[in-house]
Amino acid sequence: MPWLLKTEPSTYSIQDLERDKKTNWDCIRNYQARNYLRDDFKLDDQILIYHSGTEPIGIVGLARVSKLKQLDQEQFNPKSDYFDPKASLEKPIWYAPEIQFVRRFKRVIELSELRSLKALKQSAILKKGNRLSVIPVSAKELESILALI
């Protein structure tokens, strides 16, 4: 299943991913998002990278899932903002699958443009108040988005 991952570019951007080639998508601290990352991410799933809290807001590139069920190491680091005292190596809580850079779009597909797509009318991506940073995307939705570039 394709996915959309939100990120604030000041924290980690598509440019960072292009430089790193691959990264563990860590520091996600929401149980629903965690369940997607842990249980539903499959190898080679396509990933839309979305920049939030910036200008322009929108989809900036593509990645793919390259390693499943990686542990989020920040949960074990007492000095980290993302440390979780309830987590242990035996009973980890947070997961960070590895994703690999595929390509950066020549232009940002802006939020306003996404809103104009009929295929996205019902999409979780555009749902009001949707603060989830890991969002499932249907094949049809992905297709309609990729058709824009």
Partner DNA sequence: GCCAACGTTGGC
Closer residue to DNA, CB minimum distance, 7 or 66: 7
Q: How far apart are CA 141 and CA 127, in angstroms?
A: 14
30 interacts with DNA by CB under 7 A: yes
Residue 57 lies near DNA (rule: CB under 7 A): yes
- Under rule CB under 7 A, residue 38 binds DNA: no
Contact between 52 and DNA per CB under 7 A? yes
**Cβ partners under 8 Å of residue 57, min gap 6:** 51, 110, 111
Shortest approach of DNA to residue 53 CB, angstroms? 5
Closest to DNA by CB, 31 or 83? 31
Asked if 122 interacts with DNA (CB under 7 A), we say: no
Q: 28 vs 66, which CB is nearer to DNA?
A: 28
Q: In angstroms, rounded to a whole number, what is the distance separating the alpha carbons of residues 135 and 5?
A: 7
The residue from 10, 79, 129, 147 that contacts DNA (CB under 7 A) is 129
Q: Total residues contacting DNA (rule CB under 7 A)?
A: 16
Q: Is the peptide bond before 97 cis (omega within 30 degrees of 0)?
A: no
Interacting residue with DNA among 133, 137, 142, 145 (CB under 7 A)? 133
Question: Considering beta carbons, is residue 66 or 109 the nearer one to DNA?
Answer: 109
